């Protein structure tokens, strides 16, 4: 037998072993896997934070490495987006009472200030340099060619630090906040204000998408930008910077007014990007729904909205036939990648693979929708979502179902099982020791791409929180 055919045979044996394992997996085992994975994911995040983290000794204090992998691929850098998403998780822990994280959060403030002041290929301080997506672990500029600028990172960072600032203000730490976080001056010497100035002035300019591949106008970016500016305006008001508050609110309103341009009535789902070849289904859209709303909600495409739910289903439908592990799965949950035409294989380019982040994000969005239905005390089924909800109750018709009805209970139970079945896919392909890389191979299911990806762990943890009923802030 040729080496290549034996490889294929081996791969199909592995795939069917995986399929058998999945068939026997039920919700309780999803619960227990998630409980076991939680402390592993948490400590894996800390391993990737400088300078005390085991894998990040050479990194600045408060810098988050994307992965310890230094070649094939080299992810030993700090990305503004990944770092902000990581600290968003940690800030959630702080909000939930873990006050021991305060020094680390302040190190993140200092590192963010350092990165902002570092002149880089996107530009310099108090200007276009804030849009630089990636820095060396010691905070120096990465000068190689890259998809730059990226306008989402500063917005997510502003969201995290604005919440931190309001908590510090509540605790009486006014001078720390007005010195390092929000000084109300122009030009500013504080982190949040620089991010907000950047976002409010640059959101209309083209930037690269969160996957760093195409330049254009992106749903994910608009979602996180409108949120950051709305929250930032509240902080500006609280600190007496009322002119800025007005401007940030105006820009947030303009972004919100532009968001419906991403709804394609002909496709029947939200598209990811306007103005480039990449215009379709994308995991980034689901991430935008979550990161652009958080627990509070900003009234735009929340997880429980018709548009979010049908986009999620369209994404699942397009991913199902794409990867051969999905035909073996025998469960409604399937492996989900970044977008259908992806060719990045985790190291170079050939064929794209499913990602842990994207597979978990489908579940996180569904759990978040359940939490929102519970808070509203009802589910409304419309002509747009009818076939989506009929998956869980074939006889359901358009209408509003109160949380004390059988219809509501059946739909919510179905949604929960559906969400769990995506977790089961991640569970199946995770390493036995709980480690998570970036991707898993589309036909063998084995983990590929950057090992111990910080964002994979973060995505798992916020998904678990949503399953437990607590949407991230």
Stretch that binds ligand NOJ, among 38-46, 50-58, 75-83, 96-104 (CB under 6 A): 75-83
CA-based end-to-end distance of the chain:
55
Q: At what angle do helices 191-202 and 219-238 cross, to 10 degrees?
A: 130
Q: Which is nearer to ligand NOJ, 150 or 326 (CB)?
A: 150
Question: Which of 195, 369, 199 minimizes the C-alpha distance to 297?
Answer: 369
Instruction: Name the residue nearer to ligand NOJ (CB basis): 45 or 210.
Output: 210
Residue among 176, 416, 441, 461 nearest 328 (CA): 441
Member of 94, 262, 344, 418 binding ligand NOJ (CB under 6 A):
344
DSSP type of residue 349:
B
Stretch that binds ligand NOJ, among 103-111, 112-120, 209-217, 228-236 (CB under 6 A): 209-217
Establish if 222 lies at the interface with ligand NOJ (CB under 6 A).
Answer: no
Question: Is 35:86 a contact under the CB 8 Å cutoff?
Answer: no
Within residues 241-300, the interface with ligand NOJ by CB under 6 A covers none
How far is it, in rounded angstroms, from Cα 185 to Cα 178? 10
Measured from the CB of residue 35, what is the shortest distance to ligand NOJ in angstroms?
26
**Beta bridge partner(s), residue 49:** 64
Distance in Å, CB of 168 to ligand NOJ, minimum: 28
79: contact with ligand NOJ by CB under 6 A: yes
Q: Indicate the residue among 85 and 158 with the shorter CB distance to ligand NOJ.
A: 85
- Which one, 27 or 136, has the nearer CB to ligand NOJ? 136
Closest separation in Å from C-beta 323 to ligand NOJ: 17
Residues 102, 213, 279, 468: which binds ligand NOJ (CB under 6 A)? 213
User: Hey, what are 149's tokens?
Assistant: 């600028």
**Cα–Cα dist 293/28, whole Å:** 29
Show the tokens assigned to 82: 């990944």
Our CB check for ligand NOJ shows the closer of 265 and 349 to be 349
Least distance to ligand NOJ, CB of residue 222, Å: 17
Nearest CA-CA partner of 353 in 438, 266, 466:
438
Site string for ligand NOJ, 404-443 (x = CB under 6 A): ----------------------------------------
Neighbours of 23 (CB within 10 A): 12
Q: Is 81 in the site for ligand NOJ (CB under 6 A)?
A: yes
**209, 307, 420, 439: the active-site residue:** 209
Q: Which stretch binds ligand NOJ (CB under 6 A): 77-85, 135-143, 297-305, 328-336?
A: 77-85
User: How far is Cα 210 from Cα 216, in angstroms, rounded to an integer?
Assistant: 11
Provide, rounded to whole angstroms, the least separation between the CB of residue 412 and ligand NOJ.
Answer: 32
408 vs 455 by CB, closer to ligand NOJ:
455
Q: Which of residues 14-33 bind ligand NOJ (CB under 6 A)?
A: none
Question: Which is the catalytic residue, given 38, 102, 212, 234?
Answer: 212
> Would residue 209 show up in a list of annotated catalytic residues for this protein?
yes
State the minimum distance, in angstroms, from the CB of residue 4 to ligand NOJ. 25
Structure tokens at 172: 């009486």
* Per-residue three-class SS string for 105-125: HHHHHHHHHHHHHCCECCECC
Residue 400 DSSP SS3: strand
Gyration radius (Cα) of the chain, Å? 22
Q: Which of 15, 56, 59, 66 binds ligand NOJ (CB under 6 A)?
A: 66
**Residues in Cβ contact with 250 at an 8 Å cutoff, skipping those fewer than 6 apart:** none
- Please select the residue that binds ligand NOJ; options are 84, 169, 199, 210, rule is CB under 6 A: 210
Tell me whether strands 263-264 and 269-270 are parallel, antiparallel or unpaired. antiparallel
Report, in Å, the least distance between residue 82 CB and ligand NOJ. Answer: 5
Q: Does the bond joining 187 to the residue before it have cis omega, within 30 degrees of 0?
A: yes
Estimate the share of the chain in helix, then strand, then coil, as percent rounded to the nearest 5: 55, 10, 40
Of the residues 75, 89, 220, 356, which one makes contact with ligand NOJ according to CB under 6 A: 75
Nearer CB in complex with ligand NOJ: 55/211: 211
- The nearer residue to ligand NOJ, 49 or 210, going by C-beta atoms, is 210
Minimum Å gap between C-beta 273 and ligand NOJ is 14
CB of 449 closer than 8 Å to CB of 347? yes
Rounded Cα distance between 349 and 338, Å, is 14
Cβ-based neighbour number of residue 417 at 10 Å: 17
Among 94, 202, 211, 301, binds ligand NOJ (CB under 6 A): 211
Q: Does residue 212 belong to the site contacting ligand NOJ (CB under 6 A)?
A: yes
In the beta sheet, which residues pair with residue 253? Answer: none
The contact pattern for ligand NOJ, residues 436-455, with x = CB under 6 A and - = no contact, is: -------------------x
Q: Which stretch binds ligand NOJ (CB under 6 A): 73-81, 234-242, 308-316, 323-331?
A: 73-81
Structure tokens at 165: 């600032």
**CB contact at 8 A, 41 and 434:** yes
Catalytic positions, please?
Answer: 209, 212
Contacting positions for ligand NOJ (CB under 6 A) = 66, 75, 79, 81-82, 210-213, 344, 349, 455
């Amino acid at each position: 037998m040729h080496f290549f055919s034996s490889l294929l045979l081996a791969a199909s044996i592995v795939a069917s072993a995986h399929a058998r394992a999945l068939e026997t997996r039920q919700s309780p085992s999803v619960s227990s896997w998630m409980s076991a994975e939680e402390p592993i994911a948490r400590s894996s995040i800390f391993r990737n934070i400088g300078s005390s983290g085991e894998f990040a000794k050479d990194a600045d204090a408060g810098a988050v490495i994307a992965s310890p992998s230094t070649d094939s691929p080299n992810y030993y850098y700090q990305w503004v987006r990944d770092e902000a998403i990581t600290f968003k998780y940690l800030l959630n822990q702080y909000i939930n009472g873990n006050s021991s994280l305060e020094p680390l959060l302040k190190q993140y403030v200092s590192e963010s200030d350092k990165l902002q002041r570092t002149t880089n290929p996107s530009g310099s301080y108090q200007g276009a340099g804030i849009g630089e997506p990636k820095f060396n672990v010691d905070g120096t500029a990465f000068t190689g060619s890259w998809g730059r600028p990226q306008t989402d990172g500063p917005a997510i960072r502003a969201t995290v630090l604005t919440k931190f600032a309001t908590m510090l203000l509540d605790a009486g730490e006014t001078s720390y906040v007005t010195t390092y976080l929000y000084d109300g001056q122009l030009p500013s010497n504080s982190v949040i204000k620089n991010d907000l100035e950047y976002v409010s002035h640059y959101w209309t300019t083209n930037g690269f998408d969160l996957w760093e591949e195409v330049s254009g106008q992106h749903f994910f970016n608009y979602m996180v930008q409108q949120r950051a500016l709305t929250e930032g305006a509240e902080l500006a008001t609280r600190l007496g910077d009322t002119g800025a508050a007005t401007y940030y609110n105006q820009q947030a309103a303009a972004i919100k007014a532009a968001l419906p341009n991403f709804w394609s009535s002909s496709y029947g789902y939200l598209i990811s990007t306007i103005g480039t070849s990449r215009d379709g289904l994308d995991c980034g859209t689901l991430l935008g729904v979550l990161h652009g709303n958080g627990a509070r909600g900003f009234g735009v495409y929340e997880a429980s909205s018709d548009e979010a739910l049908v986009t999620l289903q369209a994404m699942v439908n397009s991913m199902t036939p794409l990867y051969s592990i999905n035909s073996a799965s025998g469960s409604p949950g399937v492996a989900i990648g970044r977008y259908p035409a992806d060719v990045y294989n985790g190291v170079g380019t050939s064929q794209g693979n499913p990602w842990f982040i994207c597979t978990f994000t489908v579940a996180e969005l569904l759990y978040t929708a359940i939490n929102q239905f519970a808070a509203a005390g009802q589910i409304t089924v419309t002509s747009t979502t009818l076939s989506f909800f009929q998956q869980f109750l074939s006889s359901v018709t358009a209408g509003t179902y109160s949380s004390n009805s059988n219809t509501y209970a059946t739909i919510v139970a179905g949604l929960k099982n559906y969400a769990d079945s995506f977790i089961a896919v991640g569970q199946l392909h995770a390493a036995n020791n709980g480690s998570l890389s970036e991707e898993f191979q589309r036909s063998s299911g084995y983990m590929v791409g950057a090992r111990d990806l910080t964002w994979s762990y973060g995505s798992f943890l916020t998904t678990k929180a949503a399953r437990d009923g607590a949407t991230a802030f």
